[in-house]
């Protein structure tokens, strides 16, 4: 059986008409070799949650470390790793420690309840307990998880533009960096800055400046190619876009699309013909984290390289990407 696809279900920002950060449904992972048991769980949990299934411990850990999983139902039918060992590995990693774990088993003799709780599981259930009963017993806990997600999202949002803020961007960047290292795929960053924005504020005032920031933020975010791409306000009039699975050429195409989308806003800037409308400059950097020039090259180094290229674009006349 091939590995089931699982997209990022908590995404900053969520791709929506309002272009605001939001919370999607929680995700439940069902890890079981027992087809009938897995199907019964899936039928119940899929009504309220995004559900994905795995059939081995290795596959389970791969999905959880790569994606946003809120609850893992791990069955003792898995043969390559014990459910308790998987639970310990989930709780040990910073990338997955917030994932709640429930251990299930067909036989009581295969569950060590105390050991499971010590490993970090929130509960254990036998197959004879119906999936509806399991759902009911943990629904209050999952409701609290959902509320926590809402609070976390509010802390991750830029109050003016509705985009992801700098702190959350750095968190996602580090996670995507490690995912790209494991998956051996390229990752790119595009840094964007509004040209001569201080002059715009001086001429039109800060209220119009805020309106300009909102319009530019929407134009940048609309330049994304896929849901996994992430747009953030990095501070002031500076924005940043994270592009997984993207090489330098692909990132430059996105950067040029950003420049076009902002120009097409046709926001009046100055009577000076050289800066008649609002434009942006962009700096692009891409690499494959598995094949960097030095072992110490990090996600922050990639960010710094994009920032350096942004200032090169400014020095070369603005309204361009480097």
Q: Which helix (H) or strand (E) holds 253?
A: helix 248-265
pLDDT digits (tens, 9 = 90+) for 15-30: 333 334 555 688 999 9
pLDDT digits (tens, 9 = 90+) for 110-123: 888 899 999 999 99
Q: How many percent of the chain have pLDDT more than 90?
A: 70
Q: Would you name the residues annotated as active-site residues?
A: 237
Side-chain half-sphere of 109: how many Cα atoms within 13 Å?
A: 0
Assign 18 to helix, strand or coil. coil
pLDDT, the chain, mean: 88
Q: How many percent of the chain have pLDDT more than 70?
A: 92
What average pLDDT does this structure show over 176-191?
93
Q: Which residue has the tokens 């533009």?
A: 161
Q: At residue 5, does pLDDT exceed 60?
A: no
- Give the largest CA-CA distance in the chain: 80
pLDDT score for 294? 67
pLDDT score for 236? 94
Confidence of residue 97 (pLDDT cuts 50, 70, 90): confident
Q: Is the peptide bond before 13 cis (omega within 30 degrees of 0)?
A: yes
Domains and CATH numbers, the chain: 27-155 (3.40.50.2300), 166-315 (3.30.70.270)
pLDDT digits (tens, 9 = 90+) for 64-86: 988 889 999 999 999 999 999 99
Confidence of residue 166 (pLDDT cuts 50, 70, 90): very high
Between CA 231 and CA 11 the distance in angstroms is 11
pLDDT score for 273? 62
What average pLDDT does this structure show over 33-37?
94
pLDDT digits (tens, 9 = 90+) for 262-320: 999 999 997 776 789 999 999 999 999 888 766 788 999 999 999 999 999 999 999 99
């Amino acid at each position: 059986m091939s590995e089931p696809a699982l997209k990022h279900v908590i995404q900053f920002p969520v791709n929506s008409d309002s272009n605001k950060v939001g919370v999607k449904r929680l995700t439940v992972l069902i890890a079981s070799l027992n087809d009938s048991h897995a199907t019964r769980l899936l039928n119940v949990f899929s009504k309220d949650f995004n559900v994905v299934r795995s059939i081995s411990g290795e596959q389970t850990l791969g999905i959880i470390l790569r994606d946003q999983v809120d609850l893992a139902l791990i069955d003792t039918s898995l043969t390559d790793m014990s459910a308790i060992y998987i639970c310990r590995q989930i709780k040990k990693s910073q990338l997955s420690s917030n994932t709640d774990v429930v251990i299930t088993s067909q036989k009581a003799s295969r569950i060590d309840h105390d050991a499971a709780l010590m490993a970090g599981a929130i509960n254990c259930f036998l197959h004879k307990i119906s999936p509806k009963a399991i759902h009911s017993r943990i629904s209050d806990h999952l409701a609290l998880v959902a509320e926590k997600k809402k609070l976390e999202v509010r802390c991750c949002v830029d109050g003016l533009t509705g985009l992801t803020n700098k702190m959350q961007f750095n968190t996602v960047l580090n996670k995507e960096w490690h995912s790209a290292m494991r998956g051996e795929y390229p990752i790119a960053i595009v840094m964007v800055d509004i040209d001569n924005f201080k002059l715009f504020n001086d001429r039109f005032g800060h209220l119009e400046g805020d309106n300009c920031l909102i319009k530019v933020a929407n134009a940048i975010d609309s330049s994304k190619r896929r849901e996994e791409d992430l747009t953030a306000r990095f501070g002031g009039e500076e924005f940043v876009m994270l592009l997984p699975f993207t090489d330098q050429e692909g990132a430059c195409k996105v950067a040029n699309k950003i420049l076009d989308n902002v120009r097409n806003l046709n926001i009046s800037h100055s009577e000076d013909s050289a800066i008649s409308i609002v434009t942006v400059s962009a700096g692009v950097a891409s690499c494959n984290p598995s094949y960097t020039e030095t072992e110490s090259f990090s996600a922050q180094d990639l960010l710094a390289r994009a920032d350096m290229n942004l200032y090169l674009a400014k020095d070369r006349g603005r309204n361009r990407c480097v």
